[in-house]
Amino acid sequence: MSNWIINQGLSAFILVVWMGINIFLFVYYYLFYDLGPQFEYTRELLGSALPWARAPAAVLNFNCMLILLPVCRNLLSLLRGSFICCGRSMRKQLDKNLTFHKLVAYMIALMTAVHTVAHLLNAEWYTNSFQGRYGPLASKLSMLGDSRELNTTYLNPFRSNSTTPTIFVFTTIAGLTGVVITLALILIITSSMEVIRRSYFEVFWYTHHLFIIFFAGLVFHGAGRIVRSQQVTNPPHNNSFCKDQPENWGEIPECPVPQFAGGFPQTWMWVIGPMIIYLCERLLRFIRYMQPVSYRKIVIRPSKVLELQLVKPGFKMEVGQYVFLNCPAISQLEWHPFTMTSAPEEDFFSVHIRSVGDWTEKLIKMVENLSEGGQRPKMAVDGPFGTASEDVFDYEVSMLVGAGIGVTPFASILKSIWYKFKDSDPKLRTKRIYFYWLCRETYAFEWFADLLQVLEKDMEERGMRDFLTYKLYLTGWDQSHVNHAMVHFDKDTDIITGLKQKTHYGRPNWDREFEQVRQENPSSVVGTFLCGPQALAKDLEKKCVRYSDVDPRKTTFYFNKENF
């Protein structure tokens, strides 16, 4: 249990607090509208649908306030820098921003569904009340006029028999904005499914920007003031006495005609702050878009991996950080995240781009078709932004696990280590690194093997062969690969990578790897960093919990995952 608390305790606490606030808001506002005396006559028309409509609205306000904050990347980077004096557990929460963003989105979807169904019932019951189907009190309340001269205000927004729920939905501010909000939300959520996001990223990208319409509709949704409450009058209207004799309203002093008014719209007060923060984010992105970016070098690897070495005035980075790239020749609106593979000590920053979608394919083809001395495509850069890998040097021992192109943040880390050794940096706290790279095809190793060869040679010359332990795994192998490897097994270097460390075939036995790390590093805090698929993340996270000792003086594993 204590091992689980080490890795997940603070995340679970934050989740419980968030869920607790949601439950409190729902219960509080449900009781407020279900028991509040100012809504007694409103409940005569709507029954229990009133609290079921208003309680989700309060939860929606809270979550719509939160939904933009996890994607304000500059804000998160600022907070990461501010939390540098705090524990690593606090900074780890910032790396789960997209997970929290999705949780909030699911809550918004659920509450929107409940809110919408309840209001559809309200519309039906408003109609029935106006048509006299719910008794004399409901009929009297529905027939109240809207005249200040006669000291009457309406309660039922359906003002004639010709008004149907469908007409009401499409002819009122609340109804029309509700339809727009719901449609936008449906499109945003469905296009965010992983199968759409990975195969048709552009569909996800453009559809996600319907959030602008969503928030615009949200701000105006409450302006119609459809749900109305009873106002205090002088002389007061005694509900308990007067509700049984609606025919005497306005005729006797105890029963003046009740007055009603819609509540002041509150949603905009919840969302205005995050909207301003997000607008500042977009403004900063536009400023960065206008800043010039020049090419230092372009390399196209045989494995269809494009390496861009870029230079931008005033650009400063840390290990493992990422940037958003925009190529106006492809699209002026699309920005795509890429982890930087360069080290902070270099006078440029680089990214490695693999062809995995329309945007990357177009960029690679554009570069491939460049003529000698031709004009290179303009590139805009937004960032850098912080990730979990920034904390790698805070651990004495680190396990770095990359899958495919997910090796990119660790290229930056290993390069930086090489520079630190070269410069004899006394501040380097890291004593040992275990590096694992899983690839499906042999050609994926080509661009990274050169760096490992340099590190391998450098560590040997310094007598620090144990500092870097690396293992490369070919997961998409067949029998011909094995046979070829067996024939050349007695060679000093690996036939695939040219490294002294031979390539492994298949997947790592993580139990064996974690046990080895624990035995070789007693009483150490080990940072486990992953840039790879979610299935592998779940497996490694479980291993971190399993192999962490209960005694904090012994080996403890902390799990960290890259998120974009």
Residues of the chain with pLDDT under 70: 1-8, 81-89, 147-152, 302-303, 405-406, 422-427, 441-451, 462-465, 476-502, 550-552, 563-564
At 521 the pLDDT is 86
Instruction: Answer yes or no: do 320 and 194 share one domain.
Output: no
Contact yes or no for 271/215 (Cβ under 8 A): yes
At 64 the pLDDT is 95
Amino acid at 56: P
Instruction: Answer yes or no: do 337 and 447 share one domain.
Output: no
Q: Which domain holds residue 312?
A: 291-385
CA triple 388-393-397, angle to 5 deg: 100
Q: What is the CA radius of gyration of the chain?
A: 31
| Assigned domain for 265 exists | yes
The one-character DSSP state at 152 is B
The one-character DSSP state at 391 is G
At 494 the pLDDT is 58
Instruction: Answer yes or no: do 118 and 194 share one domain.
Output: yes
Helix runs in 342-492, H state only: 358-368, 408-422, 446-461, 479-487
Last residue of a domain, one of 332, 364, 385: 385
CATH number at residue 375: 2.40.30.10
Instruction: Answer yes or no: do 209 and 62 share one domain.
Output: yes
| Assigned domain for 283 exists | no
CATH number at residue 448: 3.40.50.80
Instruction: Answer yes or no: do 448 and 510 share one domain.
Output: yes
- Distance between CA atoms of 505 and 485, rounded to whole angstroms? 10
| Assigned domain for 285 exists | no
Give residue 35's Cα distance to chain centre. 38
Contact yes or no for 238/254 (Cβ under 8 A): yes
At 5 the pLDDT is 63
Contact yes or no for 178/170 (Cβ under 8 A): no
Last residue of a domain, one of 277, 303, 332: 277
Handedness of CA 95, 101, 104, 106 (dihedral sign): negative
- Distance between CA atoms of 534 and 21, rounded to whole angstroms? 28
| Domain tally, the chain | 3
| Assigned domain for 149 exists | yes
At 558 the pLDDT is 85
Instruction: Answer yes or no: do 312 and 394 share one domain.
Output: no
At 243 the pLDDT is 85
| Assigned domain for 230 exists | yes
Instruction: Answer yes or no: do 456 and 376 share one domain.
Output: no
Structure tokens at 83: 């939390």
At 480 the pLDDT is 60
Structure tokens at 29: 């506002």
- Distance between CA atoms of 220 and 212, rounded to whole angstroms? 13
The one-character DSSP state at 238 is -
- Distance between CA atoms of 423 and 15, rounded to whole angstroms? 44
| Assigned domain for 108 exists | yes
CA triple 547-551-554, angle to 5 deg: 65
Q: Report phi then psi at 194, rounded to 5.
A: -60, -40
| Assigned domain for 286 exists | no
Instruction: Answer yes or no: do 235 and 302 share one domain.
Output: no
Instruction: Answer yes or no: do 363 and 420 share one domain.
Output: no
Instruction: Answer yes or no: do 297 and 157 share one domain.
Output: no
- Distance between CA atoms of 465 and 433, rounded to whole angstroms? 11
Nearest to 529 by CA among 390, 383, 415, 341: 390
Instruction: Answer yes or no: do 186 and 214 share one domain.
Output: yes
Coil/strand/helix, residue 207? helix
Q: Report phi then psi at 523, rounded to 5.
A: 60, 35
| Assigned domain for 284 exists | no
- Distance between CA atoms of 97 and 115, rounded to whole angstroms? 26
- Distance between CA atoms of 493 and 445, rounded to whole angstroms? 14
Structure tokens at 173: 């501010």
Contact yes or no for 132/141 (Cβ under 8 A): no
Query: Is 297 exposed, middle or buried (CB count within 10 Å of its CB: 0-12, 13-18, 19+)?
Result: exposed
Beta strands, E only, 319-396: 322-326, 336-339, 349-354, 380-385
Last residue of a domain, one of 385, 411, 433: 385
Amino acid at 368: E
- Distance between CA atoms of 383 and 322, rounded to whole angstroms? 7
Instruction: Answer yes or no: do 22 and 83 share one domain.
Output: yes
